[in-house]
Structure 1
């Protein structure tokens, strides 16, 4: 029987033969974009609301096939579900799904994108009521429903005249933008992310949704449509891949964009119903810290995992969704923002807290310790002294320690033989020290008890600072199938009590 030490040596040789240079040859710019962009055929549902850095649906299809997933046997799980690419695509392929994320806007997107049984006629009725009330609210604050020179609401012309109805005017009198978005809440939005007039239009629609829509699932449906409009039409933001401010726009047809977005979403739902047999596969979703996965206790055993956790870098993931999170009322205080960051994997210095101790789980993994030490040595050599820069080496340790906790919490939830695909990218954000994320996570996963099946190059991406091509890999793991002759001294048994403790 192979000893744990021999198993470790075999793993390390396997990893060492895998490419992880930070200067690997990458595809052309056009090939890079095509590899990760949303294909036209995948626009329905997936295109409702999507993070710019999310992987595409065709990756999910590819790895469902390559992992030999069986819709009659396997529940598909995404513990970092983001905007629901994995659960939506897996369900479209006939799989039952489980999803979780700590970010409330991600959970909103997942709930809505999986609500294929929503009452379309009821949504249309609520849309009429919402538009009428929003129009009345805008007129109350001195804004015409449609900005000058914009006629995208031609189909809704009757609503413009109905917007002065007595009932609407009475409710609109309760529209006070400063109460919906107090100054203390507005300060959570980075400066310049949205201009005054589009902001008023967004707040009018939010108020109308809250007042005119009673059913939670329809309210969420419209809130996600508004989130899409905030990012694509109302806000002054761009992604490249970091979020940044665009030149301010004086005004925007937010009402028209919202109406057309809701209609497009409903059309997609009807297409799904036409092309997919009933009943739809079951779908569960939870707001949860991926390091503990506490909500999975009563879920069926998981057979397939396809996901992409944050990478260790200086990207504050809450900032990328801050505008829509605040304007929709999902985050209303600094305390709520802090609580959100506390439930996220420690991937950047903006969400490191004094009491964090995830690093204890990787203190015996030399490769991670060496890289953390190299980051700190580079800081000292460069004479960098800012508070955030002092945390860089700690982020490395906390990130991989948090991933240890995640993989350990997941392990007992998997059926024997379950297979996992983790999409992760190399990084050079910390003083240009190369972090081969997939290869280090392979070592972490082995410590938990997983078998390493491979590390495959998915694509390369251009680093914004170094201008080098960095690899983005798919790390493939497997939960061993233990037999009666398996020794209790295997790494699986050594780490199982810790995995159970962490859940």
Structure 2
């Protein structure tokens, strides 16, 4: 197969950028850690599969690499908490170090999942018995003759019988109704709703393929009650065998790009670690929409659309405002110099406006994020981000958005020092000769 040449001007631009920093091959150390290796088999982490997560082992690996082991206290912040991998991993270290971990998550469903995990881990083994009793009550309600069922979400996806066979949809909705009718504590109810929501995809002919929800006609949906029972049993096993943690973790529903909206500037962090949505056109509001609608986080199309406008500008699913804070800042010229070769490479086709807005919007959001994080990092602290680069366009119009390098330069503008760019793995989704199509772990220190 012939290799496609990525835009040479953009490639030269990235070569010049990368030459300024210490860029190393980190595949031996990080290749398995930038994907969710081990999460599906690990207590608490396994409660909901987030395909875009990194491994539960990334945080302890980073602490060792940064010589943070042995610290009496560790304050951690994850600006894009997702399914809670960083927070759960931090709490699991609390027998070795006094941990305080904070996460921020914009997606209401993922916030629910991550909050449920950290709440359960902090509650300890006593929660297992509460879950057993609650499950028994729900089973009695579910199997009774009582003619109740939750309302079908307004999202048209649920009304498509090819996606959700009616008998299975009825079962899903009856599980949710049983949980809501059950007299249990709010924390326990939240865990049970997490278990129910984790059955939505497997009870349908839909699958997340990394870019969107796809209809898979050959897929055999699973019976919701069986799936739900398996997941609740996992929760019981995990909480029963957990050790009481001395750490503390919480998840804030808010804007991860602006942590100072949620965290006091005096609350300095030792480690900020996150993996933001990559600039690859993936809209996570769309990908996890069925679970969010099932739990009632959106009631109509307007609420769903509003959520999209609240997200990081990593996708063109909605037409964001064509306004960028950096253009009126003292860094306007430097950001323009950084982005111009990439913007000039955008092919003049029907996607041109959306692609240019994505590039400028993503840079604007990242610069804001780095500025906020710089104000809450301790003097000896570190910021670590995991990000993947992406190819856009086709044929002679193909170009790469090297988010790892773009973000590194933006971090410098926000008064960070780029310690190391560790290339974790190559991404082989597109046939191109660009070695910048990759996923990296980048370490920053305060200048």
Q: TM-score normalised to the size of structure 1?
A: 0.75
User: Residues 167-188 of structure 1, C-alpha deviation per residue, up to 9 Å, x if partnerless?
Assistant: xx2xx3x43x5xx125x43358
Q: How far is 1:356 from its partner?
A: 4.2
Q: How far is 1:104 from its partner?
A: 0.8
Specify the alignment match of 1:217 in structure 2. 187
C-alpha separation in 1, matches of 2:322 and 2:20: 38
2:203 is the counterpart of 1:241: no
Q: How far is 1:260 from its partner?
A: 1.6
Specify the alignment match of 2:18 in structure 1. 15
C-alpha separation in 2, matches of 1:309 and 1:189: 33
* Alignment equivalent of 1:411, drawn from 335, 349, 374: 374
Specify the alignment match of 2:442 in structure 1. 475
Specify the alignment match of 2:255 in structure 1. 289
C-alpha separation in 2, matches of 1:221 and 1:418: 34
User: Residues 253-306 of structure 1, C-alpha deviation per residue, up to 9 Å, x if partnerless?
Assistant: 211110121011110112222xxxx44301121011122221112773111012
Q: What secondary structure does 1:44 align onto? A: coil
Query: Aligned pair in 2 of structure 1 residues 213, 280: CA closer, same or farther (>3 Å)?
Result: farther
Q: 2:33 touches 2:54 (CA, 8 Å); kept in 1?
A: no
Q: 1:42 touches 1:57 (CA, 8 Å); kept in 2?
A: no
C-alpha separation in 1, matches of 2:114 and 2:266: 17
Specify the alignment match of 1:426 in structure 2. 389
Q: How far is 1:224 from its partner?
A: 1.0
Q: What secondary structure does 2:375 align onto? A: helix
**What runs of 5+ residues in structure 1 fail to find an aligned partner?**
1-11, 136-162, 481-503
* Alignment equivalent of 1:368, drawn from 310, 335, 339: 339
Specify the alignment match of 1:314 in structure 2. 281
Query: Aligned pair in 2 of structure 1 residues 392, 35: CA closer, same or farther (>3 Å)?
Result: closer
Specify the alignment match of 1:436 in structure 2. 402
The structure whose residues are more often helix, as a share, is: 1
Specify the alignment match of 1:131 in structure 2. 139
2:121 is the counterpart of 1:109: no
Q: How far is 1:335 from its partner?
A: 2.1
2:415 is the counterpart of 1:449: yes
Q: 1:305 touches 1:421 (CA, 8 Å); kept in 2?
A: yes
Specify the alignment match of 2:8 in structure 1. none
Q: How far is 1:447 from its partner?
A: 0.4
C-alpha separation in 1, matches of 2:114 and 2:433: 34
Relative contact order (alpha carbons < 8 A, sep ≥ 6): 1 or 2 greater?
2
C-alpha separation in 2, matches of 1:68 and 1:191: 54
Structure-to-structure mapping, 1:238-387, within 5 angstroms: 238-243=207-212, 244-247=214-217, 252-273=222-243, 278-293=244-259, 294-297=261-264, 300-354=267-321, 356-358=323-325, 360=327, 363-364=332-333, 365=335, 366-375=337-346, 378=347, 380=348, 384-385=349-350
Q: 2:176 touches 2:193 (CA, 8 Å); kept in 1?
A: yes
2:35 is the counterpart of 1:36: yes
Q: Which has the larger radius of gyration?
A: 1
The structure whose residues are more often strand, as a share, is: 2
**Structural RMSD (CA):** 3.0
Farther off after superposition, 233-242 or 441-450: 233-242
Q: How far is 1:312 from its partner?
A: 0.9
Q: How far is 1:338 from its partner?
A: 2.1
Q: What secondary structure does 1:453 align onto? A: strand
Q: What secondary structure does 1:289 align onto? A: coil
C-alpha separation in 1, matches of 2:290 and 2:183: 23
Specify the alignment match of 1:67 in structure 2. 66
Specify the alignment match of 1:46 in structure 2. 45
* Alignment equivalent of 1:96, drawn from 97, 100, 113: 100
C-alpha separation in 2, matches of 1:41 and 1:207: 28
Query: Aligned pair in 2 of structure 1 residues 128, 287: CA closer, same or farther (>3 Å)?
Result: same
C-alpha separation in 2, matches of 1:190 and 1:254: 17
Q: TM-score normalised to the size of structure 2?
A: 0.84
C-alpha separation in 2, matches of 1:459 and 1:187: 36
Q: What secondary structure does 2:247 align onto? A: coil
Query: Aligned pair in 2 of structure 1 residues 100, 248: CA closer, same or farther (>3 Å)?
Result: same
C-alpha separation in 1, matches of 2:312 and 2:161: 26
Q: 2:75 touches 2:101 (CA, 8 Å); kept in 1?
A: yes
Q: 1:359 touches 1:402 (CA, 8 Å); kept in 2?
A: no
Specify the alignment match of 2:363 in structure 1. 400
Specify the alignment match of 1:158 in structure 2. none
Q: How far is 1:466 from its partner?
A: 5.7
Q: How far is 1:370 from its partner?
A: 2.1
C-alpha separation in 1, matches of 2:287 and 2:257: 21
